[in-house]
Amino acid sequence: MEKNNRREFIKTVGVGAAAVGAGIAASAVPAMAKKEKTFRWKMCTTWPPHFPMLGESADKIAQWVDEMSGGRLKIEVYGGGELVPAMGTFDAVSQGTVEMGHAASYYWAGKVPAAQFFAAVPFGFNAQSINAWILSGGGMELWEEVYSKFNIKPFLAGNTGAQMGGWFNKEINSMEDFKGLKMRIPGLAGKVLAKAGGSAILMAGGDIYTNLERGVIDATEWVGPFHDLKLGFYKAAKYYYYPGWHEFGTAFECMINKDAWNLLPDDLKAIVEAATYKSNIWMLSEFEAKNNAALRELVDVHKVQLKEFPKPVIKEMRKLSQEVLEEQAASDPMFKKVYDAFLAFQKNIYGWNKLSEEPYQELKKL
Amino acid sequence: MEKNNRREFIKTVGVGAAAVGAGIAASAVPAMAKKEKTFRWKMCTTWPPHFPMLGESADKIAQWVDEMSGGRLKIEVYGGGELVPAMGTFDAVSQGTVEMGHAASYYWAGKVPAAQFFAAVPFGFNAQSINAWILSGGGMELWEEVYSKFNIKPFLAGNTGAQMGGWFNKEINSMEDFKGLKMRIPGLAGKVLAKAGGSAILMAGGDIYTNLERGVIDATEWVGPFHDLKLGFYKAAKYYYYPGWHEFGTAFECMINKDAWNLLPDDLKAIVEAATYKSNIWMLSEFEAKNNAALRELVDVHKVQLKEFPKPVIKEMRKLSQEVLEEQAASDPMFKKVYDAFLAFQKNIYGWNKLSEEPYQELKKL
């Protein structure tokens, strides 16, 4: 029922029911009022408003929930800074300032280091495997445990697929080339770079291009061809490297304040959950379908030089990544618990992928 | 509102509204009656009732729709043969005998050859790529066109991920070994085998094991470790081959009779669609999470010999597969139209996967 109709209806029924007798009306009207209750939620995001793919997917979740609920759950979506700062999203959801947040869980590394496994860690899962781990391999139970003390219920809500290794103004031919390299690369991957002798430089997204152009940094990672083309990095760097060893399939999250969640009737809970599943597959499919056209434009029109990190470099970076993860695990029991589960699932999925996805990807070489 | 409450409520309101005046009641009660209408649908499937993963996913779609709609759309699920024969599912949906069907579109190859692209063709897409093609790359529009004259609206509703190449009682070391090979392998893949000099033998699923054991056939394909373990093929064949060149990521479908679809209010349409998205990612994640444990049991407990098809064999089978697809395209304009779109998207996604998923899968070799 439309909201306006409902108001009209309640008015009508109110008078009518009184005329019939309180006994019967009491069993009927409250049941309806409960069922037809309309919820208005706020969703903060860590993205600029309507940011391609990421902000769009938050918008779509709100739209799908609206459609599925017949307007009974309205979610207003805010870009980062519109209601709270982008990086305040976690706290806003935790404290109930807003009911919902849309982000990537590795943004909360400073507060909840273990959360990073549910977005991306260096040499972590691709999209298909992180989905399998979280949805069917015990990952979600761990994620819920990690977030429970913050009064947040997490949902998996999107994935970029594999990202690129980044934009460089010098070639990377051996590990030596990382020595002294100033690169914008956040989180655990930044620690890996530091181990390799480089410097991970932090800066706001809006400053990256200028700093790269002026040589304040020698390199930066961002997302993949679709986004990187839009940001024009090809004008400030010569080489575009793959693979994105630090983010092979970055997952996004919907966080919901548990008190708000518990107030929802079961049908709306099911609707919100389904919207996150839909968003997950929608976003990945969009990235997969669109990345190559952007890549072609970068290479064919803008003459970007595509480069693959040499295999010995990848192998060494993986070793350094393991060291970084192990060091963090040694100082944080919850991080260790999730890391152990991550490693067990990695062994499991690698065993199967060896026979399935690996030969599929190798067809291109035949 | 629960159905029983609704009946009670309408009864109450009916009397009450009459006391208030027909003018106001007319604008309110019909609006509510429309909104609260309950639908009862039947879903036929091509699976044994509650068959692991496949039948289960049909059950889950019904359950999720029930939950999300607060019971306003109830879908009763039937196994193959319970209401109509399994292979009668398409016609039953087309003719409106049932509102919904759950199947794999390559089952309708005899009637709609082009439909096979939306499930699997030899050397076709993996799960991630068929999702990207259908959901974001124009595939869905073609699928809707292919099904429109049958009055069916298709949805993507699941995926097995990559399958295995099958169970063999002799080794496949070169193309010579396919000569005279009697294998249970249906559809286009059967035609590829025939081109290689073998014989594709058709038989009901329940007869495969016995025929393999008695030597009526030399080989069979089925699904992957999770299902193949349950069927006990390891007791009747020595070698378990990979990769499943004929099915790298078989997609499943929900078919909906268009007249039934058009009767649904918008919220229920959105709910049904979201349930198919959820099912898609649920099924793939389950397969990915569970296949390796079954594989380990086959190898470690039942001493199955895992074998990889030699690369020259895979290369030649791919060439024969292209011939089979081209022959079919030459005689069927709609097949050609979909095949051309398939090839264009394959070029697109291979271009991107070369930099993304291929290096990810190769990490295991470093």
pLDDT at position B136, please?
Answer: 98
| Cα distance between residue B16 and residue B11, in whole Å | 9
Residues of A in contact with B9 (CB under 8 A): 28-29, 31-32
Contact A12 B31 (CB under 8 A): no
Are the C-beta atoms of B200 and B182 separated by less than 8 Å?
no
**What is the rounded average pLDDT of the residues B231-253?**
97
B110-119: pLDDT as tens digits: 999 999 999 9
User: Given B15, B278, B354, which is nearest A274 (Cβ)?
Assistant: B278
Neighbouring-strand partners of residue A221? none
Query: What is the model's pLDDT at position A205?
Result: 79
pLDDT(B45) > 90: yes
Percentage of residues in chain B having pLDDT higher than 90? 88
Tell me how many residue pairs between chain A and chain B have CB atoms under 8 A apart: 297
Contact (Cβ atoms closer than 8 angstroms) between residue B125 and residue B248: yes
Gap between the Cα atoms of A342 and B183, Å rounded:
40
pLDDT at A203: 86
CA–CA distance, A306 with A111 (Å, rounded to integer): 37
Comparing CB atoms, the residue among B32, B224, B356 nearest residue A1 is B32
Residue B356's pLDDT is: 98
Are B136 and A282 in contact (CB < 8 Å)? yes
Say what the ipTM of the complex is.
Answer: 0.90
pLDDT of residue A85: 96
Q: Tell whether the model's pLDDT for residue B15 goes beyond 80.
A: no
From the list A12, A137, A284, the residue facing B20 with the nearest CB is: A12
- On the CB side of B322, how many CA atoms lie within 13 Å of its CA? 7
d(C-alpha B253, C-alpha B276), whole Å: 8
At B220, is the pLDDT very low, low, confident or very high (cuts 50, 70, 90)? Answer: very high
Q: What angle do CA B351, A252, A127 make, to 5 degrees?
A: 40
Per-residue pLDDT, A114: 98
Give pLDDT, residue A206: 82
Strand, coil or helix: A101: strand
Residues B187-196 have a mean pLDDT of: 97
Q: Which domains does chain A have, with CATH numbers?
A: 38-162+249-288 (3.40.190.170), 166-246+297-345 (3.40.190.10)
Distance from CA of A317 to the nearest CA of B (A): 11
**The pLDDT value given to residue A36:** 74
Cα-Cα-Cα-Cα dihedral sign, residues A60, A63, A67, A68: positive
| For residue B25, pLDDT beyond 70 | no
Decide if pLDDT at B317 tops 90. yes
Cα(A139)–Cα(B80) distance, integer angstroms: 34
pLDDT of A8: 38
* Structure token pair of residue A221: 């990672």
Whose CA is closest to A130, among A100, A101, A104, A102? A104
DSSP state of B133: I
On average, the pLDDT of chain B sits at 91
Pairwise CB contact (< 8 Å): A244 & B274: no
The whole-number pLDDT of residue B156 equals 98
Q: Which residues of B305-323 are buried (b: 16+ CB within 10 A; e: fewer)?
A: eebebeeebbebbbebbee
**pLDDT tops 70 at residue B31:** no
Amino acid identity at B134: I
Cβ–Cβ below 8 Å for A284 and B131: yes
CA pair distance A103, A156, nearest whole angstrom: 10
Nearest residue, CB atoms, A357 vs list B8, B162, B351: B162
Sheet holding A251-257, edge to edge: A73-78, A39-45, A100-103, A251-257, A152-159
In this prediction, residue B276 carries a pLDDT of 98
Smallest CA–CA distance, residue A293 to chain B, in Å, is 7
What are the CA-CA distances from residue B324 to residues A204, B121, B163, B196, B319 (Å)? 54, 10, 20, 11, 9
Chain A residues lying within 8 Å of B366, measured CB to CB: 311, 314-315, 318
Give me the tens of pLDDT residue by residue for chain A, a chain 366 residues long: 333 333 333 333 333 333 333 333 333 444 444 557 999 999 999 999 999 999 999 999 999 999 999 999 999 999 999 999 999 999 999 999 999 999 999 999 999 999 999 999 999 999 999 999 999 999 999 999 999 999 999 999 999 999 999 999 999 999 999 999 999 998 999 999 999 999 999 887 789 999 999 999 999 999 999 999 999 999 999 999 999 999 999 999 999 999 999 999 999 999 999 999 999 999 999 999 999 999 999 999 999 999 999 999 999 999 999 999 999 999 999 999 999 999 999 999 999 999 999 999 999 999
